């Protein structure tokens, strides 16, 4: 393979496409951002778990992305992400992907060996004492004891990331893929100081990491808004950006290293904080939106009426019947109030408007039902089991679905995060673009 030295741009967005039908609609949102003067690079992501549930292969993501890029004449970079892969699941992704989210959350807390810990501490005397982040006003004190404690908690996980990275590098060649390290699916948030120490360990492992996904404070539930203290998140996010700048300067990590926000879709309350921080520090971000597109397919089907609406109702009925089974794998990233889930019999009588208003996540909408949305978010397995019945109907109703997919990705995600536009402003931009098309 040619040595291409792939480099991720300042702004990028991870777009999940469960059934590989919405790549063009997703790319259209990035084209709209480009027309507005901001380059947002698309990264199509799909995890091993999602492929297993759908019955798809990683190459289907690549094929859909390539076809969309060709059809719309996209001349900028784009990537396909092996999302949340481990040493045991990476192999099927090696041909199709050029972006790898290396997930080591399961190794966090597994104690590293005493020798490894002491070697790390000896290698990094600069990490003890007073640490002043150059681009931030705050300073931190790291004692030898706290350095050892952090190394004990995270060093084994970083070494596991190194194993996965070298497996990919051996297959694809150095510089031919974008590495990300993910530590977000764990119990407790990492502090900015812990992030700094983790980055030192990543540098020691020789991983040229371009994005890192820590766990932030607060709840990042699937498909709904952030739950937590927004001011605290903004402070932590800014200090994480400062920690990255420090690590790049002191540990030789890539100069485009940036934060990755996982389960980033629909986190409307923190988007202004992310945008403001990026503007203040001149930093970038990778926003991973994942499964929100699948929900826009459901919204489009319901909006189309007829068979589409009937199918959307059937999917909810099945998801409701199997809600415990569907929710278990996502228990740490959903908060569903069972009492707020409407009975399937009631949903059977809903109009298109009632279904879409309950499911579509518009900030402040009184008819929106977050529990209904979260159940359907994890309910894509139901649609997968329907097979051709589902895919035939999304193909038959592609125009209305595509409009919803593009509007959701641009209007509610790209515009506030990367352009800093408020609701009225980006609604106006989307309406103008829709009229032009």
Q: Rounded CA gap, 3 and 178, in Å? A: 13
Q: Is 70 exposed, middle or buried (0-12, 13-18, 19+ CB in 10 A)?
A: exposed
Record the tokens describing residue 99, joined without a space: 């972006």
Structure confidence by residue, pLDDT tens digits, 107-148 = 999 989 999 999 999 999 999 999 999 777 788 999 999 999
Mean pLDDT estimate for the chain: 94
Structure confidence by residue, pLDDT tens digits, 213-255 = 999 999 999 999 999 999 999 999 999 999 999 999 999 999 9
356 and 200 in contact (C-beta within 8 Å)?
no
Q: What pLDDT, on the 0 to 100 scale, is given for residue 204? A: 98
pTM of the model: 0.94
Structure confidence by residue, pLDDT tens digits, 336-354 = 999 999 999 999 999 999 9
Q: What pLDDT, on the 0 to 100 scale, is given for residue 427? A: 54
Structure confidence by residue, pLDDT tens digits, 285-315 = 999 997 899 999 999 999 999 999 999 999 9
Burial letters for 242-265: b for 16+ Cβ neighbours within 10 Å, e otherwise? bbbbbbbebbebbeebbbbbbbbb
Structure confidence by residue, pLDDT tens digits, 164-211 = 999 999 999 999 999 999 998 787 899 999 999 999 999 999 999 999
Q: What pLDDT, on the 0 to 100 scale, is given for residue 1? A: 29
Record the tokens describing residue 395, joined without a space: 């193909």
Supply the DSSP symbol for 218: S
- CA 245 distance to own-chain centroid: 22
Name which of 239, 202, 238, 211 is nearest 124 in CA terms.
202
């Amino acid at each position: 393979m040619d040595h291409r030295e792939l480099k991720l741009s300042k702004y990028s967005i991870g777009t999940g496409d469960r059934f590989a039908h919405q790549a063009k609609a997703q790319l259209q949102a990035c084209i709209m951002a480009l027309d507005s003067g901001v380059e947002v690079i698309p990264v199509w992501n799909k995890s091993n778990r999602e492929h297993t549930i759908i019955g798809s292969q990683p190459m289907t993501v690549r094929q859909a992305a390539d076809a969309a890029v060709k059809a719309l004449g996209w001349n900028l970079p784009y990537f396909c992400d092996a999302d949340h892969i481990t040493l045991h699941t990476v192999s099927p992704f090696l041909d199709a992907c050029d972006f790898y989210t290396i997930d080591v959350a399961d190794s966090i807390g597994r104690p590293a060996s005493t020798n490894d810990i002491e070697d790390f501490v000896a290698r990094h005397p600069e990490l003890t004492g007073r640490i002043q982040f150059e681009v931030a006003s705050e300073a931190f004190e790291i004692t030898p004891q706290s350095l050892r404690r952090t190394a004990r908690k995270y060093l084994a996980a970083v070494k596991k990331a190194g194993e996965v990275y070298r497996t990919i590098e051996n297959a694809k060649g150095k510089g031919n893929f974008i590495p990300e390290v993910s530590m977000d699916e764990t119990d407790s948030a990492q502090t900015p100081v812990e992030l700094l120490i983790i980055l030192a360990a990543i540098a020691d492992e020789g991983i040229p990491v371009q994005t890192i996904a820590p766990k932030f404070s607060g709840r990042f539930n699937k498909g709904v808004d952030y739950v937590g203290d927004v001011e605290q998140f903004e402070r932590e996010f800014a200090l994480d950006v400062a920690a990255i700048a420090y690590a790049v300067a002191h540990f030789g990590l890539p100069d485009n290293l940036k934060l990755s926000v996982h389960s980033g879709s629909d986190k409307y309350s923190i988007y202004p904080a992310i945008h403001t921080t990026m503007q203040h520090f001149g930093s970038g971000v990778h926003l991973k939106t994942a499964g929100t597109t699948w929900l826009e397919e459901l919204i489009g089907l319901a909006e189309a009426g007829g068979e589409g609406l009937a199918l959307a109702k059937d999917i909810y009925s099945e998801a409701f019947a199997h809600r415990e089974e569907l929710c278990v794998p996502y228990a740490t990233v959903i908060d569903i109030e069972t009492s707020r889930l409407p009975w399937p019999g009631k949903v059977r009588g809903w109009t298109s408007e009632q279904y879409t208003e309950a499911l579509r996540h518009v900030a402040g909408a009184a008819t929106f039902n977050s529990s209904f949305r979260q159940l359907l978010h994890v309910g894509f397995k139901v649609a997968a089991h329907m097979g051709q019945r589902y895919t035939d109907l999304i193909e038959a109703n592609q125009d209305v679905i595509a409009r919803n997919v593009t509007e959701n990705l641009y209007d509610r995600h790209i515009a506030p995060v990367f352009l800093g536009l408020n609701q009225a402003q980006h609604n106006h931009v989307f309406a103008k673009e829709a009229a032009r098309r």
